[in-house]
């Protein structure tokens, strides 16, 4: 993809957050020259014995070798230590039998060098599709990655997994249970080929919580539905999208039991981390200049609410209107109409921010173009559509469609 | 939308075709000032008594008042004469109760001035959504349109219905049955907010064939499925899309009976006209510089074949790659994967034109980047994907996604 020479205008102004150390996890990053020279492109996270691993993955029927391998390993015996190795520069997707061979070479080497069972070694690859992964370059760096492990290395790890990202993405929360702290820290990368139907892109979340694997998996899957599965940059779905979450169990807090109040508190914090990371991915969407929140309320079914939100959030005409700061509510009506969901033109109400734009099948009497245009000047645009047919809601997040997207994707091989 | 100051590079080099006169139809166009001054924006086609009318329309749940009115009138008693009035500049969509009022004002006025039953007066409107249609300006011109009727006026009609179109679109065929000629002539307009799920955009087809209404409707609906329902510019579906076909019965050829050889001959010619018009719409897609044919072969079901073709044809990453003349077959694999259809990565074969790009889950041994890149330099790009799971095929047509699309849609109110 394009060499990025600017930072997204929607990037956090205070840079990468100061993520807490999670007891039981260490990180290292290095420059292996997978594709480019002179940038870090491999990270290795090492997890203490007993860490439980949960994950959500792309549903693409052409998913990558690493995704297939990870899916097979989720839920494996957590007695021993574990590791996660990620490279950028090459996605190792659609590389035929060579793809799985490359994954095995890497997981085998990590297993041997770090004395970790191979079914506890997870890998991800992101970058160009269809070119053989130079696994030998990665293997040659494993000893360096082992020697460089550091409890505070998560920021370097976040940088090593970037592709067209213009900034590294991190988020953290902590909760206190009976006086004992549980910490959660996560990192993610974007930022094109992103659409809701999975744990989008690459996301790694670490916590010191004590929790059973199946319980952890349930929480991670639930939170994915309303976070990473509710964002879209361009409606295109990657072949490599992966979210892996690891819980080391090193917190002194009591074990999180299913349906307990403590579990709910933990879930809230986990959801906040995942939501923040998913928003950061949108804010670094290719060419993005606006962050767009699409709120659909009172649809007949959950599926309808999601279909309408998705139709609006993926509409090129809505997204170019946002880019042009044009309060073009007619295109929102169009997107509702094409969604295939139940909708009655004369029951729709549409807001831009707090401005009621349309109701009863037409422009609202109180609406002025000036008021609509004023909202569109913001960095954070809210498009709300009330369907008026039921009680089901869905919120999705996207960005605008700009010349920057075309430049990045028309001019370079991703 | 944007004022267009160039003609699509994909426009036919020989301009608007010399369409034949269809006995029983006359046309006139005028400048009513619906939105812009100094350009023709209303056309009226007058049809002789006995003309049968068929139509296919948008499936949008927010379809316009004119569409609802036309749908109610298709199949009405064909004994008397009929008329079709079309305006550009305003779509009269999402205009509340005023929308249907405006349609009735216009159809009533046409009915009175031309002495045609109101249920035989069809209207369409195209242009901005959500603004009241100035129907009085249209009504004020009906006498002029009546006086100006001309058998050779179809080219002026094709111009009057244009919005962001950069060229007028027409197509014709004729067949001979037992020594007697049947002629077909059609016009269409595009060129944004276009996705397959209907008779896309505005299309008017005229023939002098003798044919029953229900037989004619069946042929028109069948042909729509593999022509206008197989094109996409931007995956967005208009609220006003309309195809109306009229058969005057004035040909001396024998009546076309269902399942007859003559009917099949006529269907072939009708399909050719519709296919040519649908391709012209894509070639005038907003910002288009490449015409892209997506051929999906050997899918498991018809639905799968269509889902995969649609996923490729609507993928922003595929379309920007085409714009950049980048033989980026990885993005084609991605689009197959996200389609939701049955596909096996290791059975896919992909061609760009005649160049075999990928097979057996990886780049073909014979493939060279130079050969792929050479095909991408063409104006007419063919992307063929063989799924290898069944026998079902689908071909769709689209255009590339360029800076021109962003400029047109981000900078102006449509």
- Going by their DSSP bridges, the two strands B349-352 and B355-359 should be labelled as antiparallel
What does pLDDT average to over chain A?
A: 89
pLDDT band with cut points at 50, 70 and 90 for residue A101: very high
Please tell me whether B76 is known to bind a ligand: no
CB A279 within 8 A of CB A214: no
Burial class of residue A388, CB neighbours in 10 A (0-12, 13-18, 19+):
middle
Which pLDDT score is estimated for A2? 40
Regarding whether B130 and B97 lie in a shared domain, the answer is yes
Q: What is the ipTM of this complex?
A: 0.77
pLDDT greater than 90 at residue B19: yes
Alpha-carbon distance A238 to nearest alpha carbon in chain B (angstroms): 6
Flag whether B189 is marked binding.
Answer: yes
Q: How far is B395 from chain A (nearest CA, A)?
A: 20
Do B34 and B99 lie in a common domain? yes
In a domain, A14, yes or no: no
Instruction: Confirm if B414 and A330 have CB atoms less than 8 A apart.
Output: yes
A409 is in an annotated binding site: yes
Inside any domain, residue A8: no
B40 annotated to a ligand binding site: no
Residue range A131-158: average pLDDT?
A: 96
Lowest mean pLDDT among A237-251, A351-365, B257-271, B339-353: A237-251
Average the pLDDT over each of A298-302, A342-346, B179-183, B299-303 and give the range with the smallest value: A342-346
Q: Which member of B61, B323, B411 has the closest CB to residue A410?
A: B323
Identify the CATH number of the domain in which residue A324 sits: 3.10.20.340
- Residues B287-314, mean pLDDT to the nearest whole number: 94
- Cα(B53)–Cα(B123) distance, rounded to whole angstroms? 13
Same domain? A185 vs A206: yes
- Indicate if B258 and B296 belong to the same structural domain: no
Question: Do B344 and B350 touch, CB atoms closer than 8 A?
Answer: no
Catalytic residue selected from A95, A164, A166, A200 = A200
Residue A200 is a catalytic residue: yes
B374 and B304: one domain? yes
Asked whether A234 and A286 are in contact (CB, 8 A), the reply is yes
Tell me the average pLDDT across B215-235. Answer: 84
Say which residue, A202 or A87, is predicted with more confidence: A87
Window 190-249 of A, Cβ < 8 Å to B:
192-193, 195, 197, 234-239
Dihedral-angle region of residue A267 (phi above 0 means left; psi in -120 to 50 means alpha; beta otherwise): alpha
CA torsion, points A29, A34, A35, A39, in degrees to nearest 10? 20
Residue that terminates a domain, selected from B283, B313, B343: B283
Number of structural domains found in chain A: 2
pLDDT digits 0-9 by tens, B45-98: 999 999 999 988 887 777 888 999 999 999 888 999 999 999 998 888 888 888
Q: Model confidence over A240-252: pLDDT tens digits?
A: 778 889 999 999 9
- The whole domain housing A342 covers 291-410
Among A334, A342, A360, whose Cβ lies nearest the Cβ of B129?
A334
CB proximity under 8 Å: A 57-96 to B? 58, 60-63, 93-96
- Tens of pLDDT along B381-411? 999 999 999 999 999 999 999 888 888 788 6
CATH code of the domain in which B168 resides: 3.60.70.12
Nearest Cα neighbor of A162 from A41, A281, A331 is A41
Q: Considering B217, B252, B283, which residue would you say is the last residue of a domain?
A: B283
What confidence tier does B227 reach under pLDDT thresholds 50, 70, 90? confident
The pLDDT value recorded for residue B349 is 95
Q: Per the omega criterion (within 30 degrees of 0), is the bond before A191 cis?
A: yes
Taking each helix axis from N to C terminus, what angle separates B261-283 and B213-225, rounded to the nearest 10 degrees? 40
Percent of chain B with pLDDT strictly greater than 70: 93
Phi, psi angles (nearest 5°) of residue B385: -125, 120
Hey, of B300, B323, B345, which one would you mutate to test binding to chain A, going by the most A CBs within 10 A of its CB? B345
Q: Is the pLDDT of residue B194 over 80?
A: no
Confidence of residue A5 (pLDDT cuts 50, 70, 90): low
**Residue spans of beta strands (DSSP E) within B221-290:** 231-232, 242-247
Angle at A238 between CA B228 and CA A108, to 5 degrees: 150
* Radius of gyration of the CA atoms of chain B, in A: 22
Q: Which of A254, A283, A312 is the last residue of a domain?
A: A283
Burial of A178 (0-12, 13-18, 19+ CB in 10 A): exposed
Closest CA to B77 of B207, B255, B213, B204: B213
Q: Are residues A347 and A261 in the same domain?
A: no
Name the closest residue on chain A to residue B132, using Cα atoms: A362
For residue B191, what pLDDT band results from cuts at 50, 70 and 90? low
Non-local (6+) Cβ contacts of B26 within 8 A are B45, B46, B149, B150, B151, B153
**Tokens standing for B26?**
């006359």
Q: For the segment A162-185, what is each residue's pLDDT rounded down to a tens digit?
A: 887 889 999 999 999 999 999 999
**What average pLDDT is seen over chain B?**
89
Tokens 């950061």 map to which residue?
Answer: A280
Contact check, Cβ <8 Å, A316/B130: no
- pLDDT of amino acid A237: 62
pLDDT at B5: 64
Residues B275 and B236 sit within 8 Å (Cβ to Cβ):
no
Same domain, A399 and A362: yes
């Amino acid at each position: 993809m394009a060499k990025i020479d600017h930072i997204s205008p929607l990037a956090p102004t205070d840079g990468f957050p100061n993520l807490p150390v999670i007891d039981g996890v260490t990180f290292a990053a290095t420059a292996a020259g997978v594709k480019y020279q002179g940038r870090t492109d491999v990270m290795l996270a090492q997890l203490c014995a007993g860490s439980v691993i949960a994950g959500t993955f792309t549903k693409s029927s052409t998913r990558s070798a690493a995704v297939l391998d990870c899916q097979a390993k989720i839920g494996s015996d957590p007695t021993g230590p574990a590791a996660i190795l990620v490279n950028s520069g090459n996605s190792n997707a659609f590389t035929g039998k060579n793809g799985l061979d490359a994954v095995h070479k890497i997981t085998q080497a990590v297993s041997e060098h770090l004395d970790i069972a191979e079914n506890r070694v997870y890998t991800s690859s992101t970058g160009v599709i269809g070119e053989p992964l130079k696994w030998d370059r990665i293997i040659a760096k494993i000893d360096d990655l082992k020697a460089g492990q550091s409890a505070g290395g998560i920021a370097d790890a976040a940088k090593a997994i970037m592709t067209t990202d213009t900034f590294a993405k991190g988020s953290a929360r902590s909760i206190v249970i009976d006086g004992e702290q549980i910490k959660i820290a996560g990192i993610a990368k974007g930022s094109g080929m992103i659409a809701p139907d999975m744990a989008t892109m690459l996301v790694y979340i670490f916590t010191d919580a004590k929790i059973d694997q199946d319980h952890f998996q349930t929480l991670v899957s639930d939170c994915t539905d309303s976070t990473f599965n509710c964002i879209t940059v361009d409606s295109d779905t990657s072949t490599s999208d992966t979210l892996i979450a690891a819980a080391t169990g090193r917190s002194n807090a009591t074990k999180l039991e299913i349906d307990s109040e403590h579990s709910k508190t933990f879930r809230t914090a986990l959801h906040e981390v995942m939501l923040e990371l998913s928003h950061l991915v949108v804010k670094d969407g290719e060419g993005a200049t606006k962050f767009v929140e699409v709120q659909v309320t009172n649809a007949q079914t959950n599926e309808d609410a999601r279909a309408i939100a998705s139709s609006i959030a993926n509409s090129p005409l809505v997204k170019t209107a946002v880019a042009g700061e044009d309060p073009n509510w007619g295109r929102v009506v169009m997107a509702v109409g094409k969604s295939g969901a139940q909708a009655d033109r004369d029951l729709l109400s549409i807001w831009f921010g707090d401005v009621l734009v349309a109701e009863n099948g037409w422009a609202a009497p109180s609406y002025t173009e000036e008021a609509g245009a004023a909202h569109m000047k913001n960095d954070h645009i809210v498009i709300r559509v009330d369907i008026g047919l039921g009680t089901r809601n869905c919120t999705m997040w996207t960005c605008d469609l700009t010349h920057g997207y075309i430049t990045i994707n028309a001019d370079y091989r991703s």
